[in-house]
């Protein structure tokens, strides 16, 4: 059986998204900036996509900037807020230790340029505490950036409360909502969000296209200079086919959220219950405030990479954490930040489901994970030491 369970890394495109793109690859190929009719047809498509995206997010079309994806949107949001802050000599930014590297590495860059960064603790359940945010805000704080939901452990942050606190204190609030959009309900107005990042390939759309939402009145700084596209804030000929795919995928995902999250929650909980039967296993992330398709566990005495390779040989695509850290030997910064020791963090497994997955596949995953974990433990000298009492279990 072949099971794709790595939807937090990327999703398979929906038929609707593919069909929405096709006319813009051959028939409507104009440049939206051209004045002739071929160009104007592309410009009309772009305008309609912007309206539909705004409709799905509950904002106005002028607040939508198309980008190349989540990473670019995160970079632009943070650097824009930093530029606004620097003009007022406010150079303090608050974020969390479990953000995506697109956020953390941008903050590292700002730190080298004289900004002070406070990373909030995400605690064992992967959720920040709003009282800790409140006390971290200073008169010179120019930005709070907290992700909506975590890409590795699925924990969902109290975004509406965080937005409320930031609005009250007059601090800009950005959220990396790449894992949330299309999967859980997001309301940029009610949640008091000033800037939001999303990426189409995380909700069955194409890769290489995303959106930066910036509330009216928030001044955005260019990362790319050139033409006047995106109201002068993001130069470069617009990727019309990808933008059309994004708009279709977004409308589809947002309109089906109740249905899809209900279905995914059932699959997710069956998967968690099955896998947690394996002795000395711990769930990462909050059991309730959690993305509907996310499962993340650590197994004592297991090397995550070996587990992944053996699962792949059984037809199961999974991940040990984020796709970004694979290839490096460092354990996930998210698992370390929620307090997992190094060797435990190395034994992690993330399974992220989509609506295409079935209960039959979930049962196959459970059986395969159980078999593979016992196979690996039987061969492991560390496991023998644990069983003989020469070493203490970290996971009870
Ligand atoms: C995937 C992801 C990103 C990066 O998005 P790209 O479109 O791949 O650049 C950023 N943040 C989170 C939380 C993600 O899951």
Domain extents in the chain: 3-9+257-387, 15-255
Q: Which residues pair with 3 in a beta bridge?
A: 316
Tokens 């309609």 found at = 48
What is the distance in A from the centroid of ligand 1 to the CA of 211?
11
At 218 the pLDDT is 97
Are the C-beta atoms of residues 161 and 154 closer than 8 Å to each other? Answer: no
Residue nearest to atom 3 of ligand 1 (CA): 70
Closest ligand 1 atom, residue 209 Cα? 7
Q: pLDDT by residue for the chain (396 residues), tens digit each?
A: 999 999 999 999 999 999 999 999 999 999 999 999 999 999 999 999 999 999 999 999 999 999 999 999 999 999 999 999 999 999 999 999 999 999 999 999 999 999 999 999 999 999 999 999 999 999 999 999 999 999 999 999 999 999 999 999 999 999 999 999 999 999 999 999 999 999 999 999 999 999 999 999 999 999 999 999 999 999 999 999 999 999 999 999 999 999 999 999 999 999 999 999 999 999 999 999 999 999 999 999 999 999 999 999 999 999 987 554 555 568 899 999 999 999 899 999 999 999 999 999 999 999 999 999 999 999 999 999 999 999 999 998
pLDDT digits (tens, 9 = 90+) for 40-61: 999 999 999 999 999 999 999 9
Nearest 5°: CA angle at 381, between 376 and 383? 65
151 lines ligand 1 (CB under 6 A): yes
Taking the CA atoms of 284, 287, 290 and 295 in sequence, report the sign of the dihedral they define.
positive
At 330 the pLDDT is 80
Give domain 3-9+257-387's CATH architecture. Answer: Alpha-Beta Complex (3.90)
Active site residues: 324
377 lines ligand 1 (CB under 6 A): no
Query: What would the two tokens of residue 288 be?
Result: 């309730």
CA distance 70 to 67: 8
CA distances from 329 to 246, 320, 338 (A): 34, 11, 19
CA distances from 24 to 92, 234, 244 (A): 44, 21, 8
75 lines ligand 1 (CB under 6 A): no
CA distance 279 to 208: 41
Question: Residue 353: which of 339, 364, 340 has the closest Cα?
Answer: 364
Query: What would the two tokens of residue 344 be?
Result: 């435990």
CATH number of 15-255: 3.40.640.10
Residue nearest to atom 14 of ligand 1 (CA): 178
At 234 the pLDDT is 97
What is the distance in A from the centroid of ligand 1 to the CA of 341?
26
User: pTM higher than 0.85, yes or no?
Assistant: yes
104 lines ligand 1 (CB under 6 A): no
CA distance 271 to 194: 36
Question: Residue 183: which of 152, 144, 154, 212 has the closest Cα?
Answer: 154
């Amino acid at each position: 059986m072949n099971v794709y369970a790595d939807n937090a890394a990327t999703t398979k495109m929906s038929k609707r998204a593919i069909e929405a793109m096709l006319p813009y690859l051959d028939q409507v190929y104009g440049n939206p900036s051209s004045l002739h009719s071929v160009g104007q047809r592309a410009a009309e498509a772009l305008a309609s996509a912007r309206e539909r995206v705004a409709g799905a997010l509950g904002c106005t079309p002028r607040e939508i900037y198309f980008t190349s994806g989540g990473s670019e949107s995160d970079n632009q949001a943070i650097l824009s807020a930093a530029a606004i802050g620097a003009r007022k000599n406010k150079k303090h930014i608050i974020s969390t230790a479990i953000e995506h590297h697109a956020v953390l590495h941008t903050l590292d860059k700002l730190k080298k340029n004289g900004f002070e960064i406070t990373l909030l603790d995400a605690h064992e359940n992967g959720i920040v505490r709003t009282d800790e945010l409140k006390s971290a805000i200073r008169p010179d704080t120019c930005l709070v950036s907290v992700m909506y939901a975590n890409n590795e452990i699925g924990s969902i942050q109290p975004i509406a409360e965080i937005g409320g606190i930031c609005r009250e204190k007059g601090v800009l609030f950005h959220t990396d909502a790449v894992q949330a959009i299309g999967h859980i309900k997001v309301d940029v107005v009610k949640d008091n969000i000033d800037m939001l990042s999303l990426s189409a390939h995380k909700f069955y759309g194409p890769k290489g296209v995303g959106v930066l939402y910036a509330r009216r009145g928030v001044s955005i700084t260019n990362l790319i200079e050139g033409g006047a596209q995106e109201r002068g804030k993001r130069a470069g000929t617009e990727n019309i086919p990808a933008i059309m795919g994004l708009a279709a995928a977004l409308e589809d995902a947002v309109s089906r959220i109740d249905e899809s999250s209900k279905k995914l929650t059932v699959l997710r909980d069956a998967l968690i219950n099955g896998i947690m039967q394996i002795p000395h296993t711990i769930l990462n992330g909050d059991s309730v405030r959690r993305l509907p398709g996310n499962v993340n566990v650590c197994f004592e005495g297991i090397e995550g990479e070996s587990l992944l390779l053996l699962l792949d040989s059984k037809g199961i695509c999974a991940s040990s954490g984020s796709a970004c850290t694979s290839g490096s030997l460092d354990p996930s910064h998210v698992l370390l930040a929620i307090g997992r020791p190094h060797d435990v963090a190395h034994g992690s497994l993330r399974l992220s489901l989509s609506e295409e997955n079935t209960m039959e596949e979930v049962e196959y995953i459970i059986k395969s994970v159980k078999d593979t974990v016992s196979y690996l433990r039987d061969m492991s000298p560390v496991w023998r030491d644990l069983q003989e009492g020469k070493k203490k279990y970290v996971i009870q």
